[in-house]
Amino acid sequence: MNNTDIFKIIKSIKGYQTSLKHDSYDKRQKNSNKPFQKYEFLGDRVLGLVISEYLINNFSNSSLDEISRRFIHLVNTSMLAKIFKKHDLIEIFKHQLDPQSSKNSIYADALESLIGFIYINKDLNFTKEFIYLLWNDELNTLPLKDPKTFIQEYSQKKNKKIPQYKLIDELGTKHKPKFLVELKINDLTVEGEGISKQKAEIAAAKKMIKLIDSK
């Protein structure tokens, strides 16, 4: 199955044009009860299931930390937008998205909505094939990530927000300073210490990764 086949199948599904219409196309009709938002909600979960299953099956000897890093790398907003543009999926959304919009978040939402729509109207196996086709060149990639980058991608995926580091105290002496930084994501909070603010933030990010993995 190639892009052309995918496009033909999607366009043959009744109602795809109205079901996949994003708020950016008609801001006057913005509400949270549109099919687009519901398909996006579902698509996010289906994508997570398919990618998680792939990683567990293909990286069974890897640590949970590495699998988590791979997962976040494959489903973050930047990756979804990259795949959306790479496969020219705007062809599917010509009358569903604002043609002037170029926000990665909108492209990512559109791709998740499309995945949810395909799942409902086809089946899981077809949806898997669709995801594998689009993610084919990315599934086995793992860029080296420092802890702060990992946490940023995780937070953007979960909350669509950049994580916030808060300096809460400066300890030590002028020659031996110690900085205390707080990092909070949703209901998870950790603190990190370091001889500089940057090192304290890295320490906090490492603690947050361990806390996430333990959940």
Task: Write out the catalytic residue numbers.
Answer: 44, 112
Cα dihedral: 155, 64, 133, 153 (round 10): 20
How far is CA 117 from each of CA 89, 111, 164, rounded to the nearest angstrom? 14, 10, 34
